[in-house]
Structure 1
Amino acid sequence: MSALSWTRVLAVLVKEFKQLTRDRLTYAMMLAIPVIQLTLFGYAINTEPRHLPTAVLVQEDSRYARSLIAALENSRYFDFVAEARTPSELDALLRTGQAQFAVTIPGDFSRRVARGEKPQILVEADATDPSATGGAVAALAALPDRALAHDLKGALAARGQPAAPFEVVIHRRYNPEAITAYNIVPGLLGIILSLTLVMMTALSVTRETERGTMETLLSTPLEPIEVMIGKLAPYVMVGLIQTAIILVMAASLFEVPMAGGWLGLTAGVALFITGSLALGFLISTVARSQLQAMQMSFFYILPSILLSGFMFPFRGMPAWAQWIGEVIPVTHFLRVVRGSLLKSQGIGDQWRELAALAAFVCVVTALAMARYRRTLD
């Protein structure tokens, strides 16, 4: 056995660096992933969201009502985005997710405040994600003591003492007990399908390229769409079985309420499974090895977990992160699943999310067929 030669060690070291630079995808991933993680965790993740969209139903136009709305806005937790005309319209804004909170100010609010009768205002919260509403709900505790401080002066102020001039009644809709599992478990459906279907498809097709069996497939008169359908059909069944298992376990182990909305959920699952498989096929047309396929799959899955609203409140992220999140199909699929199971949303309530998933399927399928190689390089 010869003595250790630092010259030979240096030669191997130089060779490895050259090999690393030749594999540009791996090299880029090694540099990009830490930057992406640092940026997302440092800037995009916020566990106490503010400026939450709020709808209001004002049954009287008075100074006290305007002061109350201004106090809610000044707390920086509530941004009023819509004014409903009827209770049903207010309920629809909350059910469809256009508003996180719904505030109802009764018609006799000012008169009862002036009489010292301590009226009530109703604040309804979309509590499907308890962490998204927790801070705002806590801030409501100080509202009765501060909202009308500038209006109740003199005799009115004395009449309101020592109790607060009004009460805030909070209704946590869709998840009144603030059970985290009601939010996390349905969301896991999208993450698990992404992890398995995208990566499994990408690895399966890339494996055939590495083993040489793809050359035989390419020599046949098959069209790209025929290859895609034939390759992906078995994984559709895998995705459906996974969906059934997750839903059964969610209901039996975690007691997630199955409110309904099965038609929209079925359409969402079908579109998401198809899009995930098409994305895996697209990745396989770019990757040269199974390692590259796994790296590219992870590059898609990481933002899907962090920016979709699965782990952290979606509305707590800055605007640029929300724009990126809106492009990610998992974001729209999670809204379909949670809306169906927790809110009993129908297709009419979910058409925006289903349209986004349908567009994702069309774009990715077209790109995959365009990238499909008829001959090996």
Structure 2
Amino acid sequence: MTPVLTYPRTTRGPVAAWRRFVAVLVKEFIQLRRDRVTLISMIFISLVQLLLFGYAINTDPKELRTAVLAQDESVFTRSFLAAMRTTGYFDIRERVASESELDDLILSGAVQFGVQIPSDFGRQLVRGERPALLVIADATDPSATVNAVGALEGIAARAFERDLIGPTAALASTPPPYEIRIHRRYNPVGDTHLNIVPGLMGTILSMTMLIFTALSVTREIERSTMESLLAMPIRPVEIMLGKIAPYVLVGAFQMVLILSAAWLLFDVPIVGSLALLLALTTLFVIANLAVGYTFSTVAENQLQAVQMSFFFFLPNILLSGFMFPFNGMPDWAQWIGETLPMTHYLRIVRGIMLKGADLSHLAIPVGALGLFTLVAMAVAVNRFRQTLD
């Protein structure tokens, strides 16, 4: 007769169930304590999100960099510039001497606004001829300029209240005695596709390149195939370059796919050099591959590698100017953003595609991205050698 298996009485009932629950609970806490990367990620990712969304994100940017071409030095010019400053939206940093210099500053992204005051502005205003001021706005990111433009239109009627007295007092009535002509360059209708789609290329490339390469070395170690690589007569740098090269080709394919979709589906132009865009995008891909490869040498398993990738990706997407205006963030957030590769790549891709900028206009973001790539590659090589040792 086959004996019937029965569980001891101690395994039944609510007390036993509670003990089993507590045992599993303690076991999970012990395992979580040993997996410090996961524990840190759970705590700090939520903390970073709270700080970034609470302090760094601002959809109403102030103190926007502004350049002035003042060909008239009358009291009306000084009053208008003072009225611009009082709005809080304009930080007049540059005084230029020619229209070409003003255009270069706008094209390179050094300033957000440019103001041109004609040479006979004061004289025409006193005569009642209603002269015009030209305000140029870099509208590649419409959300960064819309409130500033609204404030500029709001000061038109009261900018010269203290100056129009005596014989010219009648000019202080509505409408204003002058005209503000606003020229929204590079995106005159405020189409969000022109801003979002080029930025998506940086976002997609960052996410995919980071995650794929972050798993490369960790996967080899978990599958016990790293020993086979080490047994071969090959140098660490050659192993790293060989593992990164396929992802460069994958990134190139993604780049072509996104550019084709941007042109065919969303009517996003490529005003500048396509060859320059492809070359600098390749540099951006290599930078992210180097970061991901460094994570793969630090992580103990594939889960940790993915967690590290998202921990790096989150500030890139929030502090680069992709989702929120870069100039609207506080100084400390902008300092962090300047150290991230996606910040400089967004300036490059928007500058080439929307503005037609060349290498001379993009010298600062290209230099910053190149420096980041060199540092990331050096760290990746050093970490990989330590991993092999």
Aligned counterpart in structure 1 of residue 102 of structure 2, from 61, 85, 90: 90
Equivalent of residue 217 in structure 1, options 229, 244, 251 = 229
What is the distance in 2 between the residues matched to 1:314 and 1:283?
A: 27
Q: Is it true that 1:370 corresponds to 2:382 in the alignment?
A: yes
The DSSP-based 3-state class of the residue aligned with 2:135 is: strand
Identity of aligned residues (%): 54
Q: Tell me what 1:265 maps to.
A: 277
Deviations, residues 220-272 of structure 1 (Å, cap 9, x unaligned): 23212101111011111100000000001001111011101334323311211
Structure 2: give runs of 5+ residues left out of the alignment. Answer: 1-6
Match of 1:286 in 2: 298
Q: Which residue of 2 aligns with 1:154?
A: 166
Deviation at 1:357, TM superposition (A): 1.3
CA contact (8 A) 1:259 1:341 kept: yes
Whichever residue aligns with residue 344 of structure 1, its letter is G
Q: Which residue of 1 aligns with 2:369?
A: 357
Unaligned runs of 5+ in 1: none
What are the superposed Cα offsets for residues 178-229 of structure 1, whole Å, 9 maximum, x if unpaired?
0001000000111100110110111132111111011211222321210111
1:118 and 1:112 map into 2 onto residues whose CA distance is: 7
Indicate conservation of the 8 Å contact 1:285/1:373, yes or no.
no
Offset, 1:373: 4.4
Asked if 1 retains the 8 angstrom alpha-carbon contact of 2:160 and 2:172, the reply is no
Contact 1:116/1:160 (8 A) holds in 2: no
Q: Contact conserved, 2:69 with 2:95, CA < 8 A, in 1?
A: yes
Query: How far has the Cα of 1:375 moved from its partner?
Result: 6.3
Number of residue equivalences: 377
Give the secondary-structure state (helix, strand or coil) at the position aligned to 1:32. Answer: helix
Normalising by structure 2, we get a TM-score of 0.94
Task: Report whether the alignment pairs 1:185 with 2:197.
Answer: yes
How far off its partner does 1:8 sit? Answer: 2.5
Separation of aligned partners in 1, 2:285 and 2:70: 43
TM-score of the aligned structures, taking structure 1 as reference length: 0.97
Structure 2 residue corresponding to 1:36, chosen from 45, 48, 52: 48
Which one of the candidate residues 277, 294, 307 is aligned to 2:319? 307
Aligned position for 1:329? 341
**Does residue 1:198 correspond to 2:210, yes or no?**
yes
2:180 pairs with 168, 174, 197, which one?
A: 168
Specify the structure having the higher radius of gyration (Cα): 2
Matched, 1:142 2:162: no
Alignment of 1:23-172 (within 5 A): 23-172=35-184
Structure 2 equivalent of residue 11 of structure 1: 23
SS of 1:322's equivalent? helix
CA contact (8 A) 2:60 2:144 kept: yes
Q: Following the alignment from structure 1 to structure 2, what is the Cα–Cα distance between the partners of residues 362 and 325?
A: 18
Contact map agreement 1:55 1:84 (CA 8 A) in 2: yes
Determine which of 288, 294, 301 is the counterpart of 1:276.
288
What is the match of residue 235 of structure 1? Answer: 247
Contact between 2:157 and 2:174, CA under 8 Å: does it hold in 1? no
Over the aligned positions, Cα root-mean-square deviation in angstroms equals 1.3
Per the TM alignment, residue 134 of structure 1 is displaced from its structure 2 partner at its CA by 0.6
Q: Alpha carbons of 1:176 and 1:35: their partners in 2 closer, same or farther (altered >3 Å)?
A: same
CA distance in 1, matches of 2:349, 2:258: 12
Query: In structure 2, what residue type is equivalent to 1:232?
Result: I
- Report how far residue 361 of structure 1 moved: 1.3
